[in-house]
Amino acid sequence: MKLWKTLIATAAVLAMASAGAQVKERTLKFAFQNQTGHPQAQGAQKFADIVAAKSGNKISVKLFAGGTLGGDLQTVSALQGGTIEITVLNAGILSAQVKEFAVYDFPFLFNNGQEADAVTDGPFGQKLFAKLDEKGLKGLGYWDLGFRNLTNSKRPITKADDIAGLKIRVIQSPIYVDLFNTLGANATPLPFPELYPALDQKAVDGQENPNTVILSSKFAEVQKYITQTRHIYNPQALIISKKTWDSMSDEEKKIISDAAAEATAFQRGVSRGAADSALAALKTAGMTVSELPPAEVAKLREKVKPVIDKYTATVGEATVKELMAEVGKVRK
C-alpha cells in the first residue's frame, strides 16, 4: 500500500511538472483604442490578471491603451504579422477581413446588450469567428462597448434632419461612411487616435461613440451637444494573433481561453453599469443632452433602410437571414 501511495504521489508530481513545462515564459502585447479606466481597459486588465494567475506568472499580458500602437486597422495587421498578440475592437471593423462581420454594424439591429450576447455567444457569432482563422486571427470572445450616440459642436440634434450638413468622424468601415452620408452628413473616416485633435481643431464637427468612450476620451472638452441616438450597438471582438495561438501548447491555449471567458463576463457587467453614469458625468461636464422623440427615431430607421439593403447584398442574404432568425429567437 505504501508503494502504491508513493507511485500515485510521484505520478502527480510528474504530471504537475509536465503541465508546468508546457507553459513557457512569454509576454503578450494587448493593444486597444480606449483610455485606461474605460470598461474596455478594465476588461483588458482583468484578462491580464487572470492569465498571470492561471499561468503562475509565466505569461505576462502587457497593455497598450489609447491607440499608442496605432489605430484598429494597423493593429489588426500587426496581429496578422505576429508583432502584436491581442486586441479588442469593434467587431464590424473585421469586415475588412471577413465581409460577414459588417452585419454587426447594421443600424438599429439590437434592442439591448443581452440580445447581442445571445447572438454573438451562440452559433452565429462563433461561425463568424471561425472564418477569421484563415486570415491569421483567432476569436476569443465578444465584449461590450454599448450603444453609439452622436455628438457635435454646432447645434442640438433633436430631429432626424438636424444631422444633415454636419461633418462627422466615423470609424474606418464603409458601412459607417454610407450610413452618415445617407443621413445627410459628411462622413469622415479617421483612426481613433486622430479623433480628439480633429475635434479640437474643428477639422470635423462631431463624432459618434458610446457614452463611456465620449467620457473617458474627454470629448466634452471639444463637443457641446450629445444626442442619445443609440443608432448602433457595438459588439467588441477580442482576438489573438493566429501565429501566437498556433505557437502555444494546449495548456497555454486553455489558460488564454478560460481567461477570455472570465474577462468577458466581467467586462460586460462593468461596461453596462458605466453607461448611465457616463451620461450623467457628461451632463456635469457641460454637455447639452438631447433625446430623439420616437417619431424621429422612426424617421432615422426609414432613412437607413437603403444602407441595410446595400450591405445585405454585400454580406449575403443568407447570412443576414440567419442573423435575424437568431435575434428573433432571443426576442421570443
We report the CATH number of the domain holding residue 92 as: 3.40.190.170
pLDDT in tens, 38-68: 999 999 999 999 999 999 999 999 999 999 9
pLDDT in tens, 273-313: 998 899 999 999 999 999 999 999 999 999 999 999 999 99
Question: Count of CB atoms within 10 A of residue 253's CB?
Answer: 15
| Among candidate residues 171, 181, 169, 179, the one with its CA nearest the CA of residue 309 | 179
- Flag whether 2 is in a domain: no
- Flag whether 67 is in a domain: yes
Which range is least confidently modeled, 15-29, 88-102, 308-322? 15-29
- pTM of the complete model: 0.87
Domain that holds residue 261: 24-331
pLDDT reported for residue 14: 44
CA atoms of 94 and 172, how far apart (whole Å): 10
- Flag whether 14 is in a domain: no
What's the structural domain count of the chain? 1
- Flag whether 4 is in a domain: no
What are the angstrom distances between the C-alpha of 125 and each of 44, 77, 143, 188, 326? 21, 22, 12, 29, 10
- Flag whether 78 is in a domain: yes
- Flag whether 5 is in a domain: no
| CB 182 within 8 Å of CB 306 | yes
pLDDT in tens, 179-200: 999 999 999 999 999 999 999 9
- Flag whether 18 is in a domain: no
Chain mean position to CA 8: 47
